[in-house]
Structure formats: C-alpha cells, structure tokens
A = this chain, B = another copy of it.
Amino acid sequence: MSRYADAARDGDGRGHHTLAETESAVAERLDGMSVDVESMAAVQNIYRAANTIRNHLEQTVLAPHDLTWTGWVVLWVVWIWGDIETRHVAEEAGISKGTLTGVIGTLEKRGLLLRRTHPDDARRVLVALTPKGRKLMNTLFPIFNAAEARVTASLSTADKTHLATSLRAVVAEVDEF
C-alpha cells in the first residue's frame, strides 16, 4: 500500500473514517475541553496535505527515477543556485546538516552531484550538479511541475496564490519564535 493511499478499504467500502465521522468523534472525546478547532483543523490539514502530496509525487514521478522527495528537493536547490555551500543547501531544503550529509552521500553515489572543499575555508563544503544531474533536472522538472499542477487542480489559481500567501505567513511567524 502506498504512502497514505487508502487502497485498503473496510467493510463499507471506505478507507479511513470520513471527515464528518472524525470531527464527530473528536467533539465527543474533547467534550468539556476548550478546544481551538480552527487552529487544530488548519494544522492537521496542512500536515495531511503535505504528506499526501509528498507520497503521491514520490510514487508517480520520483521513484521511477530512483529519487526520494528529499533527494529531489536537494537536487532542485543545487540546480537553482549552482555551486552552493552545504550549510545553505540544508537551510533551503529545510533539513538538518546531519541529514544533508547522508542525502548528499546518496546522490553522490548515484553520480548526480559532486562535493568539494571550499577554496577559502576548509570547514566548508560546496556542491554542484554533475552533467548527469543537470540532465536529469532538465528532464524531470517539467514532469514534476505538471504533477504539481495536477495535485492542486481542485484549486483555482487565485486559491493557490492565497494558500501560498497564508502558508508563508505561518512559516514567517514560526521562524520568529
């Protein structure tokens, strides 16, 4: 069964509970508690949507090219910025330095990028795509972007923009903490 897919269906033909059922059970469980339902719904749906999208794009677009979601994100960051320091890649990709070391190891092993010591500061490491990596990005990005359009097809362009704006505000707020 794929990530978050609900191929497995229970007796009445549905996977997990409907949203209405879940909210009903939650209301019952939390009866007597003061709950910020809007905030809970916002957080839960942000996380659920992110996982659903990641799973879907990983399975349909990335796995056929032997890529993981994070491998793809790292390649994308290096593709956009060119020769870039690993600490910046970790920041842009939103992963820890320790995790980046492992992901870069995997991508290097696949011949998609190369690391080298910074000429001025031996503590730092620079990465760049290999020709093979660049070719993969040129081939795969349009396919990935088309898939991004498909997974968000239920939203109008105005909705997508509004969604992105709201989510940027959330990220900015948390980054201020």
* A interface, CB within 8 angstroms of B: 1, 3-6, 8, 10, 15-17, 19, 22, 25-26, 29-30, 33-36, 38-54, 56-57, 60, 79-81, 87-88, 91-92, 94-97, 141-142, 145-146, 148-149, 151-155, 157, 159-164, 166-175, 177
Contact = CB atoms under 8 A, between A and B. Distances in A.
Question: Interface residues of A: mostly helix, strand, loop or mixed?
Answer: helix
A49 B173 contact: no
Nearest to A54: B47
B6 A175 contact: yes
B154 A45 contact: no
Given A33-B141, A51-B50, A163-B45, A94 B8 contact: no
14 contacts: A3-B96, A4-B94, A8-B91, A26-B80, A40-B145, A43-B57, A45-B163, A46-B53, A52-B171, A53-B174, A56-B174, A56-B177, A152-B170, A155-B170
